[in-house]
Structure 1
Amino acid sequence: MVTARRRQRLRASRSERSEEPLESPTIAALAERYGKAAAQIILRRHLQAGRSAIPKSVKEHRVREHFGVSDVELTESEVALLTEALDPRARRRGSGSPR
């Protein structure tokens, strides 16, 4: 019973996403602004938030790309936009007030 409910919640959260993160117009715009790949912008957001991130790729050029995020510093408003684009729950909360 618990497993069925958990699966139902997972399906609901997946269906709430309007797009994949790497295809998000917000992330694409920031990537273009900084001359970086969308994955680099997402990685930079995580690092700026103090999170540990372990990007994975089997392609050498992508692995090298991941190291190229230290020369970018996102503004607070850009981080907020990324949070909204990556987390559908943040959009429902609006101004960041807890639920």
Structure 2
Amino acid sequence: MSEIKQLDVSIMGREFRLACPAEEEPALLQAVQMLDEKMHEIRAGGKVVGLEKIAIMAALNIAHELLHVRVGSGDFDIGTIQRKIHSMNETIDAALQEQRALF
């Protein structure tokens, strides 16, 4: 069984503690960086206001990019994509719930 690490990360200036298997740490940190960059890009566009809406738009953009890559490669599995999107939504909901408790 692999070791589970606790990582402190920052997304849009907010701190989150995440757990992941040690061997997946580099991929998780890359995902955090990608999400943070996408969210900053959306906020800089000025058309979307509010952290929750920015997070949802970022998730949709990333999911769209993933679908585009999968469809283009011929390796498209809608069930897998739907499970990943559902998992992403649950993660976003949990993070937002924690933030709401602070205010």
Fold in common (TM above 0.5): no
Higher RCO (Cα < 8 Å, 6 or more apart):
1
Q: Which protein shows a greater Rg? A: 1
Higher strand share: 2
TM-score, normalized by length of structure 2?
Answer: 0.33
